[in-house]
């Protein structure tokens, strides 16, 4: 199990929050000293003319049971799926939990074309290596965009698509100005551990903060304190770009498989709201309204709302989340 390393000396990381002061142990770019909840495996493969290493966790299914693919968001490592993965495995499901290239314990090249199609294709290669050809695809936050692209590219491998507070339910460049990679790179370089904690506390958890939330933020604060942050900031900037320039929402009417959205209605995650185009009045990230907008595009999509929950319902209130998730799995 993952080390419970918050507020205790001698563990793998340390975060203390007093007002805006955050002390974090530095981490290397591949999170060498950051322990994951299950055994970590590595797929070595070729992509864009180079060899890459993709980290993943795999819990095999009981005989005759389906396998669930869990895809992480941009500001998260795959370790935050621990509770969900344990629940699934206890029900007999298989679980595959990758770190996408550019994230977590996987390689992070700076001269790589980061696209949702590339990440989806890498994920297909991982599943093929495990002899899995039919999975329930679940994505959270940016992982929802990866999951959607996977389902659009490989519908024959996708039995169901479940999206948990995905970003990308809006075509952001309809509403915000285009910003290039250098803009995001400079923004990333300026970030401090305090910025990470304050952002997540305000935007993810409605002002609350506890040891679990701190644990899920610790790899980011540790990266900022580490020697590899300039490289990691560049990779982060490259992956910001695809969120704005590679929308998936316009293709939701092409989804022919069962699709369920699980939406914490308090969530207001709206990339680019700080640089909206002149005259744009739309309020981005209104997850209390986005479900209805998506259903207007494709009436076959099921929307399950979780009133009062934010961007991470599977972390914030697992007992409420898992009821909706279990319904989506059936």
Domain extent at residue 309: 17-329
Task: Kindly state whether residue 3 falls inside one of the protein's structural domains.
Answer: no
Please check whether residue 59 lies inside any domain of the structure.
yes
Question: Is 7 contained in some domain?
Answer: no
The answer to the question of residue 216 being in a domain is yes
In a domain? residue 10: no
Q: Measure the CA–CA gap between 20 and 138, rounded to whole angstroms.
A: 34
pLDDT at 269: 98
Does 1 reside within a domain?
no
pLDDT at 12 over 70: no
Q: In the chain, what percentage of residues exceed pLDDT 90?
A: 92
pLDDT-derived band at 23 (thresholds 50, 70, 90) equals low
How many other C-beta atoms lie within 10 A of the C-beta of residue 255?
19
Q: How many domains does the chain have?
A: 1
The answer to whether 59 and 15 have CB atoms below 8 angstroms apart is no
Distances (CA, A) of 41 to 118, 146, 173, 317: 20, 21, 37, 29
State the alpha helices, DSSP H only, in the chain: 82-90, 116-129, 142-153, 181-189, 193-203, 211-225, 229-245, 287-297, 313-316, 318-329
* Calpha distance 161→243 (Å, rounded): 19
Q: Is the pLDDT of residue 7 over 80?
A: no
With 90 as the cut, is the pLDDT of residue 24 above it?
no
In a domain, 306, yes or no: yes
- Assess whether pLDDT exceeds 50 at residue 5: no
Section 168-189 average pLDDT:
98
Q: Find the CATH number of the domain harbouring 90.
A: 3.40.50.1820
* 11: in domain: no
């Amino acid at each position: 199990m993952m080390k419970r390393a918050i507020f205790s000396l001698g563990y793998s990381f340390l975060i203390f929050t007093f007002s805006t002061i955050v002390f974090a142990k530095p981490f290397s770019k591949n999170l060498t000293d950051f322990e994951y909840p299950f055994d970590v495996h590595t797929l070595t493969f070729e992509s864009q003319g180079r060899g890459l290493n993709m980290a993943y966790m795999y819990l095999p299914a009981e005989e005759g049971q389906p396998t669930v693919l869990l895809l992480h968001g941009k500001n998260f490592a795959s370790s935050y799926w621990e509770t969900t993965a344990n629940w699934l495995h206890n029900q007999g499901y298989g679980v595959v939990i990758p770190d996408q290239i550019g994230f977590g314990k996987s390689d992070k090249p700076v001269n790589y074309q980061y696209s949702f199609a590339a990440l989806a294709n890498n994920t297909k290669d991982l599943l093929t290596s495990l002899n899995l050809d039919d999975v329930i695809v679940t994505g959270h936050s940016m992982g929802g965009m990866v999951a959607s692209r996977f389902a659009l590219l490989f519908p024959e491998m996708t039995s169901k698509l479940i999206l948990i507070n995905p970003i990308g339910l809006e075509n952001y460049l309809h509403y915000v100005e285009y910003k290039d990679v250098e803009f995001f790179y400079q923004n990333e370089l300026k970030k401090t551990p305090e910025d990470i904690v304050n952002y997540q506390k305000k935007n993810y958890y409605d002002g609350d903060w506890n040891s679990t939330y701190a644990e899920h933020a610790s790899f980011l604060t540790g990266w900022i304190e580490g020697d590899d942050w300039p490289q990691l900031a560049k990779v982060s900037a490259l992956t910001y770009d695809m969120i704005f320039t590679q929308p998936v929402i316009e293709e939701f009417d092409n989804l022919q498989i069962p699709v369920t959205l699980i939406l914490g209605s308090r969530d207001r995650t709206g990339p680019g709201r700080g640089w909206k185009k002149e005259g744009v009045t739309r309020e981005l990230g209104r997850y209390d309204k986005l479900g209805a907008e998506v259903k207007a595009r494709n009436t076959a999509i099921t929307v399950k709302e979780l009133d009062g929950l934010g961007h991470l319902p599977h972390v914030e209130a697992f007992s409420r989340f898992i009821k909706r998730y279990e319904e989506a799995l059936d």
